[in-house]
Structure 1
């Protein structure tokens, strides 16, 4: 089974990752697709937001190529016609994405990509964290040697982030992956764990059962910084009052809804919104087509970090959550690039008919199609009905 969610079309296109997961809800994808819309607007990329997921559990790993082949065929019409451009995301390898593109019948050589989006995401999250800590240092006389942090979601981004924070002098006290959490108040060796994760993947954690704790224990740990780098909506109405971290940095898309961000702010927590904290992934992937990796990192450490620092100061001085400082301006950018001539009459009905032709059920949700008046541009994107 798989899903595609297009939140918004900007100039007729949308952009967002394909994730491979054992389970997911449409609500999660709707939130993450919306986050992509805002992220594209935040960095000035003229594309709407989208997200896709292919559900493959551990029992079906041997059928992964077959499932991805069917998924590629299913989304071929919206990829070929420019409505959706899929990229890397959680749980997917570059070879997996190439299988999908090959079956959309588009000439896209994914294997030629630098594939450093996770690196740039980790770096933007690092500099977002350092920006927040810079402000805390002025208010509470905190320095990096006193900083403690946990990582919820110890994958490519989370492991690199923990290594970078460790090298900056912070104490790494806990993390979790799909198996369980690991905690040590005396501090974990982030460099050693980073190398183990690179060599062995998630299974390395099975050697650390003597430090095992629940996933919730990592979320609720009393630390200065909590990085959220796994699923959507992990902090929600049920548990947000249990969160004790001073700074929450959103490496994943929509790990916290915007309403919960506001509630956390009222509880005295600083939440660095997802599309701000993790925008390094998409920003770096765009820039590294003509800049070196070091040049991209330099931009993140300078102009990007200054922007985030300014937002954090504004948040404190105006007593306003970061999301509310930027959301209205981003919506104006999105609306100014929106053109309803890209919406064709009967679009939704055609999607239902089209995807019912395949063994892989897909779902598409978008505010555009619900709110905007349909106009007749059917042939422009879809061609004759299949």
Structure 2
């Protein structure tokens, strides 16, 4: 008899709350995970994805929500970590009724969780969810929102790459460097444009033919290859995973080393497939810009929406991703640890310092 995997408590992830949401009429099967509200309400997107099992969906939402705790902390936001996943194929299962049912579950948490777009959900979807809940960001400008958050996500990754360039090549420009982008959807396509404008060359891959067709139409000078194996062997200087998580595993490590890739800096969440990969990257001399640091431009954008959105204000905050990434590289060098460890320490330091202030009684 096979031993069942632990549901939540046995995983020892430190989550405060995990909510399973089901509405049979619409077919909604969703999980909302709140990792920490030490800095404020949990903020993080809703992922709509055809998970092979409930256990796989739970595993993903637990990882993603924990990552949001650290991402929001290092982005300087007064928000904790939260995330949601909807189980299903967004092309087949998404409907107004399902999204509104989901919105009612978000509303039921009373503001402890604030949602936004993620893989499989879009601005138009958030407008529908917002018909049932106040706690929704990433809405359209017509509905008082900020619109597509991938704009500043890509911009933030670009700022992280500038810090990589400074660390490796004594200058913040990517001009003359070759960047390999895996996943040219919402974020990857915008990152491509920024890099080309900077004078870098780009080689790309994506499992979606539609995404590749759109990329070729917009940027015909980009080299397109069949898969990630080809991408990592294409003589690139920087590898930018911009699709789903787990992009950095043991097999990828071999390819990175064989291809002599100098750095990893991309928009995907949870890039490290398992513990120890960060040390393998460091030992191999591959500079890793922690994903939750460099891809925080999107959450900076949607958080700003809560205060009456200003693109210029949000972009100014996202520009600081360069400074944060640079600080992490410096701390890593001083402490003799991988950048991922240095980033965790910096985030935990802020969480501890700010949450301690909650012990001060304000008289209400």
Q: Using structure 1 for the length normalisation, give the TM-score.
A: 0.70
Q: Is 2:130 the counterpart of 1:130?
A: no
Q: Is 2:64 the counterpart of 1:32?
A: yes
Q: Residues 93, 299 of structure 1: CA spacing in aligned structure 2 closer, same or farther, 3 A cutoff?
A: closer
Give the drift of 1:248: 0.8
2:262 is matched with which residue: 246, 251, 266? 246
Aligned residue for 1:322?
Answer: 339
| Superposition pairs of residues 146-161 of structure 1, within 5 angstroms | 146-161=176-191
Give the drift of 1:129: 0.5
1:230 is matched with which residue: 223, 230, 243? 243
1:193 is matched with which residue: 215, 218, 235? 218
2:288 is matched with which residue: 251, 271, 276? 271
Aligned residue for 1:368?
Answer: none
Q: Residues 100, 216 of structure 1: CA spacing in aligned structure 2 closer, same or farther, 3 A cutoff?
A: farther
Q: Is 2:276 the counterpart of 1:259?
A: yes
Aligned residue for 2:315?
Answer: 297
Q: Is 2:35 the counterpart of 1:15?
A: no
2:192 is matched with which residue: 147, 162, 178? 162
Q: Residues 107, 171 of structure 1: CA spacing in aligned structure 2 closer, same or farther, 3 A cutoff?
A: closer
Give the drift of 1:144: 3.8
* CA distance in structure 2 between the partners assigned to 1:172 and 1:281 by the alignment: 22
Q: Secondary structure at the match of 2:43?
A: strand
Aligned residue for 2:95?
Answer: 64
Aligned residue for 1:172?
Answer: 202
Q: Secondary structure at the match of 1:25?
A: helix
Aligned residue for 1:218?
Answer: 231
* CA distance in structure 2 between the partners assigned to 1:59 and 1:239 by the alignment: 30
1:247–1:271: 8 Å Cα contact kept in structure 2? yes
Q: Give the paired residue count.
A: 315
1:136–1:142: 8 Å Cα contact kept in structure 2? no
Q: Which has the higher helix share?
A: 1
2:113–2:135: 8 Å Cα contact kept in structure 1? no
Give the drift of 1:252: 2.0
The CA deviation string for residues 98-132 of structure 1, in whole angstroms up to 9 with x for no partner, is 2223234x486833112242111111111110221
* CA distance in structure 2 between the partners assigned to 1:142 and 1:108 by the alignment: 36
The CA deviation string for residues 292-350 of structure 1, in whole angstroms up to 9 with x for no partner, is 5345435544x4423423433443465431122232232233244558x9xxxxxxxxx
Give the drift of 1:159: 0.4
Give the drift of 1:169: 0.8
* CA distance in structure 1 between the partners assigned to 2:131 and 2:233 by the alignment: 43
Aligned residue for 2:130?
Answer: 101
Tell me how large the CA RMSD over aligned residues is: 3.4
Q: Residues 233, 158 of structure 1: CA spacing in aligned structure 2 closer, same or farther, 3 A cutoff?
A: same
Structure 1: gaps (5+ residues): 183-187, 196-204, 342-386
Give the drift of 1:215: 4.3
Q: Secondary structure at the match of 2:288?
A: strand
| Superposition pairs of residues 300-379 of structure 1, within 5 angstroms | 300-301=318-319, 303-316=320-333, 318-338=335-355
Structure with more contact order per residue of length (Cα contacts < 8 Å, sep ≥ 6): 1
Q: Residues 157, 11 of structure 1: CA spacing in aligned structure 2 closer, same or farther, 3 A cutoff?
A: closer
Give the drift of 1:33: 0.9
